[in-house]
Amino acid sequence: MEDMNNNENRFSQSQQQIHNQQQGQTRPPQAPQQQRPRPQVQNQQGMQSVLVQQQQTNGLGIAGFVLSLVALFVSWIPFFGWLVWLLGLVLSAIAIVKKPRGLAIAGLVIAIVNLVLFLSIIVLAFNLSSNPELNELKNYLDTI
């Protein structure tokens, strides 16, 4: 019986295609679309309801990542760059407890890398300023 229904269905589709071709309406055959199975729940009346899950986002993680990335490029500006860096660090650290964590982790890593670069520049500048040979060079250049 089922085989007979399938044959009738194919026959009616063939007739529809022939009719469309005679009317000048040609339609290319469409590939069947694959859809993800959606979870279905049966409610009290016996009807099925479809539950749709939305993609989770982490707004704090995105903000922390963006601020950390911006701070990487503007950290040479006193106070403004430091404020942007600090905000990126704090937002990324707070957002690490929420899912998804990807951008929060990336923002935290970028903020820590920025801190290491900043501290290494400070240490290098301090060491260079306390070097007596550089003071002699500076005095020499000032006399010229």
Residue 5's pLDDT is 47
Q: Give the pLDDT band of residue 7 (cuts 50, 70, 90).
A: very low
Predicted pLDDT of residue 21: 61
- H or E stretch including 41? strand 40-42
The pLDDT score that the predictor gives to residue 18 is 64
pLDDT digit string (tens) for 47-99?
A: 777 777 788 888 999 999 999 999 989 988 888 988 999 999 999 999 999 88
Residue extents of the structural domains in the chain: 59-131
The β-bridge partners of 49 are 41
Q: Tell me what the mean pLDDT of segment 107-111 comes to.
A: 95
Query: What is the SS3 assignment for 109?
Result: helix
Q: What is the pLDDT of residues 28-51, one digit of tens each?
A: 555 555 666 555 555 666 677 777
Residue 41 phi, psi (nearest 5): -125, 135
Q: Which residue has the higher pLDDT, 143 or 87?
A: 87
pLDDT of residue 52: 76
Which tens digits make up the pLDDT trace of 114-132? 999 989 988 888 887 777 7
Q: Which residues of 24-63 are buried (b: 16+ CB within 10 A; e: fewer)?
A: eeeeeeeeeeeeeeeeeeeeeeeeeeeeeeeeeebebbbb
Q: Coil, strand or helix: which one is 87?
A: helix
Q: What is the pTM of this model?
A: 0.55
CA 68/CA 113 separation, integer angstroms: 10
